[in-house]
Amino acid sequence: MRFRVIRQRGLRIPEDVSLITFHDADWTSVTTPPITVVDQPVYALGKSVAELLIRRLKGETRPAERLVLPTGIIERGSVGPPSNRAP
């Protein structure tokens, strides 16, 4: 859900809905409340994917590989404790 939809439904962040997104874009730190993000190494991700693509374009065939890059979480104000309300 986007901010607008959450607010149109009368919900509040983080009191009613916690919000986390990927990538620490500039806008995530200037919203109210600031958004918690999973920070990804976007440069390293792009570089790795480009290298794999170039190998493939050169005709190199290899079995699928798993690439794991480190991530982190930047905690901001958009996550609250779980609700005690019954579903």
Per-residue model confidence as pLDDT tens digits over 13-27:
999 999 999 988 899
Q: Where are the beta strands (DSSP E) in the chain?
A: 20-22, 36-39, 72-74
Tell me what pLDDT residue 1 has. 54
Tell me the average pLDDT across 37-42. 92
Percent of the chain topping pLDDT 90: 60
Domain boundaries, the chain: 3-74
Tell me what pLDDT residue 86 has. 53
Q: How confident is the model at residue 4 (pLDDT cuts 50, 70, 90)?
A: confident
Q: Give the number of other Cβ atoms within 10 Å of residue 18's Cβ.
A: 14
Tell me what pLDDT residue 2 has. 77
Q: How confident is the model at residue 87 (pLDDT cuts 50, 70, 90)?
A: low
